[in-house]
Chain A
Amino acid sequence: GDSVTQMEGPVTLSEEAFLTINCTYTATGYPSLFWYVQYPGEGLQLLLKATKADDKGSNKGFEATYRKETTSFHLEKGSVQVSDSAVYFCALLNTGGFKTIFGAGTRLFVKA
């Protein structure tokens, strides 16, 4: 079945460091891919998305490119801030559009 694998955390970085969180997926057909972010005590909110191969999603300085050849959707940010500390989830929406599969989540800590 469809699945999402993302790097284990926690990831601890200093402010202004470069961030990469790896995400790979297994799916049939043509899934859409998402990154969601969860701040402490809150629900998930969409960070960015990509609907087809080679699409790049971007938002708030974060970006990720849908790579079908490597089945990956790695999240990157050039310069993290303390306010980016949160849990990040990679997810796919299956081709039928009715099921979203989430990765286990990666907790990011950014130190001032």
Chain B
Amino acid sequence: EAQVTQNPRYLITVTGKKLTVTCSQNMNHEYMSWYRQDPGLGLRQIYYSMNVEVTDKGDVPEGYKVSRKEKRNFPLILESPSPNQTSLYFCASRPPGLAAYEQYFGPGTRLTVT
């Protein structure tokens, strides 16, 4: 089954404790992206990757890091989480190019930073 998976689905952590949220897709998509969803703000893009070893900042990259060492995986790293990073996070993937391909979203990771 074609899908985007994220782990963990739920995470409660404390300020400053490094964490990684994994994202994996099995559709051989080149483009992957991370979003955060907050009430009243919709989804905001954190980082995106056009291909292996190619990443770029989205609209809200502060406090986050990413890496893209293989096509299928795109982990999101919070080196020193803070309470304002409490949010619902989504990973997504799609084929590249100018055609209007839809994005395929993972199920989401709900992160709480205390």
Q: Are B100 and A32 in contact (CB under 8 A)?
A: yes
Q: Are B100 and A51 in contact (CB under 8 A)?
A: yes
Q: Are A100 and B103 in contact (CB under 8 A)?
A: yes
State the Cβ distance, B4 to closest chain A Cβ, in Å.
8
| Contact pattern, B 59-86, Cβ under 8 Å of A = 1, otherwise 0 | 0000000000000000000000000000
Which of B44, B45, B50, B90 sits near A43, CB closer than 8 Å? B90
Which of B45, B106, B107 sits near A99, CB closer than 8 Å? B45
CB contacts (< 8 Å) of B33 on chain A: these are 100
Q: Are A46 and B102 in contact (CB under 8 A)?
A: yes
* A86 CA / B102 CA spacing, docked (Å): 19
Closest to B96 in A: A97
* B41 within 8 A of partner (CB): yes
Q: Are A34 and B31 in contact (CB under 8 A)?
A: no
CB contacts (< 8 Å) of A43 on chain B: these are 4, 90, 92, 105-108
Closest to A8 in B: B40
State the Cβ distance, B35 to closest chain A Cβ, in Å.
8
CB contacts (< 8 Å) of B102 on chain A: these are 34, 46, 49
State the Cβ distance, B16 to closest chain A Cβ, in Å.
29
A interface list, Cβ under 8 A from B: 4, 32, 34, 42-46, 49, 51, 89, 91, 93, 95-105
